[in-house]
Amino acid sequence: MATTESAPGKMASWLADATGGVTDAPIGFGRMKRKEDARFIRGKGNYLDDVRLPGMLHGAILRSPYAHARIVSIDTSKALAHPKVAAVVIAKDLETLGLAWMPTLSYDTQAVLAGDKVRFHLQEVAFVIALDAYSAQDALELIEVEYDVLPAIVNARKALDPNAPLIRDDKVGQTDNLASPTWEAGDKAATDRVFAEADTIVTRDIIDPRVHPAPMETCGMIADMNPQTGQLDIYNGNQAPHLHRTVYAQVAGLPEHNIRIMCNDIGGGFGNKVPVYPGYVCAIAGSIVAGAPVKWIEDRAENLASTGFARDYIMHSQMCAKNGKITGLRIDAIADHGAFDATAQPTKFPAGFFHIVTGSYDLEAAHCTVTAVYTNKAPGGVAYRCSFRITEAVYLVERMVEALAWEMDVDPIELRMRSFIRPEQFPYETATGWTYDSGDYHKTMKVAMEIADYEGLRREQQERLADGEIMGIGIAFFTEGVGAGPRKHMDLLGLAMNDGADIRVHPSGKAVVSISAQTQGQGHETTFAQIVAEELGISPNDITVRHGDTDKTPYGFGTYGSRSTPVSGGAVAVVSRKVRDKARLIAARMLETRPEDLAWEKGRWYVRGDVSKGAAIEDIAAYAYSGSPMPEGLEGDLDAQAVYDPPNLTYPYGAYISVVDIDPGTGHVHLRRFIAVDDCGVRINPLVVDGQIHGGLAEGVGQALMQVVSFDEQGNCMNASFMDYLLPTALECPDFELGETVTPCPHHPIGAKGVGESPCVGSPPCITNAVVDGLRVWTNGRVRHMDMPCNPARTWAAMQGNAAPPQ
Amino acid sequence: MQVSMSINGEPFSYDVEPRMLLVHYIREMAELHGTHWGCDTSNCGICVVLMDGVPIKSCTTLAAQAEGHEITTVEGLEKDGVLDPIQQGFHEMHALQCGFCTPGTMVTGRWLIDKHPDPTNMTDYEIREAISGGLCRCTGYVNIVKAIRWAAAYEAAAATGGN
C-alpha cells in the first residue's frame, strides 16, 4: 500500500513487531499481511449491492405468511397499477418460461414461486420488479393472495406419522413425508456383536438443532439478460460460480457459454452462499420479462427464514466400551430437510459425510442410519462452515465419548487417549469406510493439555465447587474429512468435484494465476499467490490471483467444505510445477546445457556443480517471449494449465479444551477460556490460518450457546431477525488460545489439509461438553445431557431438573 | 423533502422521500458505498457511521434526522493519502477477512480511541464492550481488539515523535 509509506514507516514496523505483528512478504509460505486488505480498509470493496448497471430495476419477493396453505388465488392488478412497478411475476408466469420449479443439489425439485401451495413460512410467492427498491417493497403490499390454511408439521418425528398431512403432494407417487430412502453405513451385524460383548453402553438422544450461517452480507443477484445477444450476465456472491453457471444452463435452458457469472467481493458465505435460491431464478426471469437488469437482494429476515439453514439432525445414539476402551457406535438419525431437499451433497452420500461419525477413534465396529424427512420448514441443509454434515458427526461422537467416560468413571481425556487411532495405524480405514491419511492424535491432545494446564483446571473445578461456583471443563477431539473430492469416489450433479488453475507468466516474470475457488474472506489473493511464490520463487506481490469470473477462470467447484487449499490449492501447486518444468527446458537452451544437468533453487534453475551459472525465472520468462529460438516443440510462453483431482480427502484434526463458568442463579454460561490446537498440515500463511481459526471458534461459540432457528406449532419461524437469532459479539468470545502441531498431508502437493472449518466443527461439542461437565459436577452427576444452544433458559432448566424450553 | 448534511467534510443536499434511511442516503444519493447494510434492526453494526463524532446505526436513522449534522464514513478516515492508524492497524493485525463489517468497526474504533482518556491503557473489556454493537462472522474479534490497540499505540508513539 503505497499511501502508507508517507506515514512514519520505521515506527510502523517497530510497532508491528512489538505487538506480535507481521513481517514483509515472504517468497513463499510464511506470515504475510493480506494483499486484499488495501481496498477493504478504504471502503472500496465491490460487493453485490455496490454494482450499478444502467437502467437497473429492483426486485422484491412477496412471501407466505403461512407454513402450509393452499393458494386459492393471487391478484396482482393493484401492484401492476403502481406507477413505478415494471412487472409482477407469479408461478404461472414462470411456467411459461419453464422456470416454475428448479432442481436442487440433492436431485429434488423446489418451487421458485409457489403456485399450488406454500410449504414453509415466508416461502416465495410473487416477485415484483420496480424502478426503485422502496417502490418494490410498497408494491408487495398491493398483491392480494387468498390462502386455504393447512395443518403444518415442524417436528421431524411427527412428519413420520402415517397420518401426517402430505407435504410434497406435487411429487408423483409420494405418499408419505420421507424425502429419500433411509441411508446406512457401516456393518450392522458386526456392530450388534460388539455391543453384545461390551462392558458399558451409554445411550443418548442428541439433537443438533437447526441453525443458520448468517453471513453479514445477505444473498442476492443482479441478472442482466441481453435480449439482442442472448447473453446473460450475472452478478452474484456465491461460493461456486462455475457450478451455478451449469445449474442455470440446465434450469433456464440457456447455452452455458452465453452465461457469465461475476462474483466480486463477498461478505461472508459459510455455506449459505452455496445453493441456488428462488430469488436468483426470479432475478433472471425478471430480467427476461422486463428486458433490463434486475437487482434482488434479500433482507435479513428473508436470509434467516428462507435460505440455507444447517444441521437439524435428531440422533438416537449408543456408544460402548470394553476393557476400558471405546469399541462400538451405532446411530439412528432423522434428518429434517424442510419442504424441499436442497441439501448440498455429493451424489453417493445423501447424508453427506455424516458416516465419518467414528471420529478419531479405533473402533471395532460402527453402524449408522439416516432417515430424511420433509417438514413445513425452509429448505437448505447446507454445510455451515463444515464439510457435508461432519459437524453433526463430530458433535455426536464427542458428546458420546464424554458421556461414556463419565459412565465408566474415567477422565474423558484418558478415555480418548486409550481409544485414539495410533500414529502407526495410518493410513487407517475406519469402520464406516474412510481412509484417514495421517495423524498423531496423542501428541496434539497433549499439547492442548499443556496449554490449558488440564490437571490444574480439574483441581480448580473442585475448589470452586467448594466455594459454591459452577465451573465446567469441556474437551473435543475432532477429525474432519475435507477437500471434496476424488472423482473416483464422489460427484455433485454428475460433475467431478475437481478444480482447475492456470498461470500466465508475463515477459517481466510477473504472473497472473486464475483459480476456480471463490474467496468470501479467506484471503485467496494472498495465500494462492504464496503457493505460486513457494513453487516458482516469484514474489507474491508480483502475482495477481484472478477469481470469481466464469469467463476468466478455469472450471472448478468453488469454496466450501474447506476445499480451497486441499483441491484448488493443489491445482495451483501442480500448475506452478508445470511452469517450472517448462522453465527448465527453456533454461537449458539459454545455458546451452541439458535439462537433466540443471538443478532448482527457489526462483532459479542452475547448472549442477556451478551455482553461479543459472537462469532466474524472470530471465526465463523474458527469453520465452523474446525473439530467441525456443527448445524444440515448445511454444513461446511460460504458461500452463492444470486440473487437480485429489487422490483422497484430507483429514485435519485438532484438540480443543474449553472452560466455562455458569451462574447458579441465572444459568448464564460465561466462556472463560478456549484452547485450540489444530493440525492442518503445512500452513501457507500462519496469520491467515490463525484468523480462520479465530472466526470458526466464534461461530462455534454461537452455535453452542446462542444460535437456533425454531418454529411455533403453526410453523412460524421464530428467529427471523438478529433480535431473536443471536450471534456472538466481542463480549461472548474469549481471547482464544491457539497451539499447533504439523503433520503434513502425505498425498497433497504442499502437504496442506485445509483449516477454515475445523474450528467451527470442533468447538460446539467442546463448549457443550464444558456446560454439561459443569452441571454434572454441580448436581452430583444428575445432569448428564443438554442439547444446544446452552442459553440461560435451557441451562437453568437443566440445573433445576426441569424439561428444557424448546430449542 | 430537501435533506442536507456534511459527509466527510463535503456538503450534500438532495430532495428525498421523508422515509429515506440514512444508510440509503449515504449509499444511493452520496454514492459512498463503503458503508454497508446488514440487518434492519440495529443489531449487527455493519452500517455504523459517526454523526458529530459519535457512532450511530445508519440503517435505523432517517436521513432527515441527520439534517445539518456532520457524518463521517469509512471514506473519511484516510486523510491526504495517509491511512488513519485504525485502518493501518486493521491491516497490520489481520483484523478483517471478508471486509463487510470492517468499515463500521473501524469508525467505532476511531471513536473509542478519540473519546478514551488513556487509549494506550484501554482494558480488553473496554475495547470489547465498545465494539459489541457490531457483529463479525470472520475474525472472532481477537484481531480487531489487537488492531484497535495497535492504532492507539501508533498514535501515542507518533505524538511523542516516534520514540
Residue among B97, B153, B154 whose CB faces A691 most closely: B97
Inter-chain CB proximity B145 and A721 less than 8 Å? no
> Is B41:A720 a contact under the CB 8 Å cutoff?
no
Q: Which residues of A touch B34 (CB under 8 A)?
A: 42-45
Coil, strand or helix: which one is B122? coil
Quick one: B91 and B72 in the same domain? no
Domain boundary among B76, B111, B130: B76
Number of domains in chain B: 2
What number of residues does chain B have?
163
In angstroms, the CA B135 to CA B150 distance is 21
Q: Any idea which architecture A313-374+394-484+648-800 has in CATH?
A: 2-Layer Sandwich (3.30)
Q: Mean pLDDT over all residues of chain B? A: 97
Nearest to A326 by CA among A400, A424, A256, A432: A400
Domain that holds residue B46: 2-76
Residue B15 has pLDDT above 80, yes or no: yes
In this structure, is residue B109 part of a structural domain? Answer: yes
Quick one: B34 and B65 in the same domain? yes
Nearest to A263 by CA among A518, A598, A591, A607: A518
- Which pLDDT value is given to residue B162? 57
Q: Any idea which architecture A499-644 has in CATH?
A: 2-Layer Sandwich (3.30)
In angstroms, the CA A689 to CA A28 distance is 15
In angstroms, the CA A527 to CA A566 distance is 13
Percent of chain B past pLDDT 70, that is, above it, reads 99
Q: Which residues of A touch B16 (CB under 8 A)?
A: none
In angstroms, the CA A89 to CA A143 distance is 11
Q: Which residues of B touch A268 (CB under 8 A)?
A: 97-98, 100, 137-138
Cell numbers representing residue A679 in the block? 493440525
Whether the link from the prior residue into A486 is cis, omega within 30° of 0, is no
- The H-assigned helical ranges of B55-141 are 85-92, 102-115, 124-130
Output phi, psi for A480, to 5 deg.
-110, 150
* A195 Cβ contact list (under 8 Å, min separation 6): A201, A318, A320, A328, A330
Interface of A with B in 479-498 (CB under 8 A): none
Strand order in the sheet with A259-262: A85-90, A124-130, A57-63, A294-297, A220-225, A232-236, A259-262
Residue B66 has pLDDT above 90, yes or no: yes
Inter-chain CB proximity B150 and A300 less than 8 Å? no
Inter-chain CB proximity B92 and A12 less than 8 Å? yes
Quick one: B124 and B147 in the same domain? yes
Per-run averaged pLDDT (10 residues), chain A, 807 residues: 38 40 75 96 97 98 98 98 98 94 92 97 98 98 98 97 96 96 97 98 98 98 96 96 94 92 97 96 96 98 97 98 98 97 89 96 98 96 92 98 98 98 98 97 98 98 98 98 94 94 98 96 97 97 96 96 95 98 98 98 97 97 97 96 98 98 97 98 97 98 98 97 98 98 98 96 98 97 96 95 76
In this structure, is residue B48 part of a structural domain? Answer: yes
Cell numbers representing residue A130 in the block? 420496480
- Which pLDDT value is given to residue A285? 96
> Is A660:A774 a contact under the CB 8 Å cutoff?
yes
Q: What are the DSSP calls for B88-110, one per residue?
A: HHHHHTT--SS-SSHHHHHHHHH
In angstroms, the CA B101 to CA B44 distance is 9
Look at strands A435-436 and A428-429 and give their pairing.
Answer: antiparallel
Residue among B40, B136, B140 whose CB faces A697 most closely: B140
Which amino acid is present at A229? T
Inter-chain CB proximity B39 and A215 less than 8 Å? no
Which of A18-32, B10-24, B86-100 is the least confident region?
Answer: A18-32
Inter-chain CB proximity A217 and B39 less than 8 Å? no
Which amino acid is present at A197? E
Inter-chain CB proximity B38 and A695 less than 8 Å? no
Nearest to A76 by CA among A137, A126, A30: A126
A1 and chain B in contact, CB less than 8 A: yes
Angle at A293 between CA A287 and CA A297, to 5 degrees: 90
Quick one: B12 and B71 in the same domain? yes
Every domain of chain A with CATH number 3.90.1170.50 lies at 54-150+227-306
**Neighbour count for residue A807 (Cβ, 10 Å):** 18
At B121, which CATH number?
1.10.150.120
In this structure, is residue B163 part of a structural domain? Answer: no
Q: What are the DSSP calls for A735-777, one per residue?
A: --EEEE-----TTSTT-B---SSHHHHHHHHHHHHHHHHHHHH
Domain boundary among B17, B49, B76: B76
Quick one: B65 and B19 in the same domain? yes
> Is A59:A296 a contact under the CB 8 Å cutoff?
yes
At B34-50, the pLDDT tens digits run: 999 999 899 999 999 99
Angle at A528 between CA A523 and CA A533, to 5 degrees: 130
> Is A385:A757 a contact under the CB 8 Å cutoff?
yes
Quick one: B96 and B154 in the same domain? yes
In angstroms, the CA A760 to CA A783 distance is 25
In angstroms, the CA B139 to CA B124 distance is 16
Interface of A with B in 697-716 (CB under 8 A): 697-699
- Which pLDDT value is given to residue A25? 83
Q: What are the DSSP calls for A375-396, one per residue?
A: -SS------TTSSTTHHHHHHH
Residue among B103, B137, B154 whose CB faces A695 most closely: B137
In this structure, is residue B114 part of a structural domain? Answer: yes
In this structure, is residue B105 part of a structural domain? Answer: yes
Quick one: B110 and B132 in the same domain? yes
Q: How far is CA A689 from CA A534, A789, A797, B27, in A?
A: 17, 27, 38, 33
Every domain of chain A with CATH number 3.30.365.10 lies at 313-374+394-484+648-800, 499-644
Crossing angle between the packed helical segments A792-800 and A758-778, to the nearest 10 degrees: 30
In angstroms, the CA A292 to CA A600 distance is 55
Quick one: B66 and B11 in the same domain? yes
Instruction: pLDDT band for B161, please (50, 70, 90 cuts).
Output: confident
Element holding A314 (H helix, E strand): strand A313-322
What b/e readout covers A403-441, taking b as 16+ CB neighbours within 10 angstroms? bbbbbbebebbebbebbbbeeeebebebbbebebbbbbb
Residues of A marked active site are found at 239, 385-386, 757
Quick one: B46 and B110 in the same domain? no
Return the residue matching grid coordinates 443438554.
A786
- CATH fold of A54-150+227-306 reads Aldehyde Oxidoreductase; domain 3 (3.90.1170)
What number of residues does chain A have?
807
Give this complex's ipTM.
Answer: 0.98
Question: What is the maximum alpha-carbon separation in chain A?
Answer: 86
Closest CA in chain B for residue A264: B98
Domain boundary among B76, B93, B113: B76
> Is A696:A757 a contact under the CB 8 Å cutoff?
yes
Quick one: B61 and B98 in the same domain? no
Cell numbers representing residue A379 in the block? 429448505
Quick one: B117 and B69 in the same domain? no
Which amino acid is present at A802? N
Whether the link from the prior residue into A427 is cis, omega within 30° of 0, is yes
> Is A722:B39 a contact under the CB 8 Å cutoff?
yes
Cell numbers representing residue A719 in the block? 428467529
Q: Which residues of A touch B60 (CB under 8 A)?
A: none
Element holding A94 (H helix, E strand): helix A91-97
Closest CA in chain A for residue B73: A43
At B8, which CATH number?
3.10.20.30
Quick one: B72 and B89 in the same domain? no
